[in-house]
Amino acid sequence: AQSVTQLGSHVSVSEGALVLLRCNYSSSVPPYLFWYVQYPNQGLQLLLKYTSAATLVKGINGFEAEFKKSETSFHLTKPSAHMSDAAEYFCAVSEPNAGKSTFGDGTTLTVKP
């Protein structure tokens, strides 16, 4: 069985500050991992994905995430927050060929001017 835990349902940062959104996963096999972003009144869109190649994954809009097997983590970071980053972020895990993903509860990012 697979599961995802996102630590912190709300994160608030100042514009220009580091963004760190935490995700820990559980999986019985080597997983695939994803971060999705949901802007207000929109569906989810893929931010980045880990598919067992490089452990440091770069995504859109300056975000990146590092897969750490020893810590079962896949935290999302961005060096400098922008007002347009305000959104809800979801971490998801998928087992190879399972055809399904399990999503975390989401983290709402607020960016203060």
Q: Could you give the CA distance from residue 58 to residue 67 in angstroms, rounded to a whole number? A: 11
Residue 93 C-beta: closest distance to another protein, Å: 10
Residue 14 or 45 with smaller CB distance to another protein = 45
- Name the site residues for another protein (rule: CB under 8 A): 9, 32, 34, 36, 41-46, 49, 51, 90, 92, 94, 96-101, 103-106
DSSP of 87-106, one letter per residue? EEEEEEEE-TT---EEE---
Residue 6 C-beta: closest distance to another protein, Å: 8
Q: Could you give the CA distance from residue 71 to residue 78 in angstroms, rounded to a whole number? A: 20
Q: Could you give the CA distance from residue 113 to residue 57 in angstroms, rounded to a whole number? A: 28
Residue 32 or 81 with smaller CB distance to another protein = 32
Residue 4 C-beta: closest distance to another protein, Å: 8
DSSP letter (8 states) at residue 70? T
Residue 56 or 113 with smaller CB distance to another protein = 56
Residue 100 C-beta: closest distance to another protein, Å: 6
| 42: Cβ contacts below 8 Å, ≥ 6 apart | none
Q: Which two tokens stand for residue 45?
A: 């869109």
Residue 1 or 113 with smaller CB distance to another protein = 1
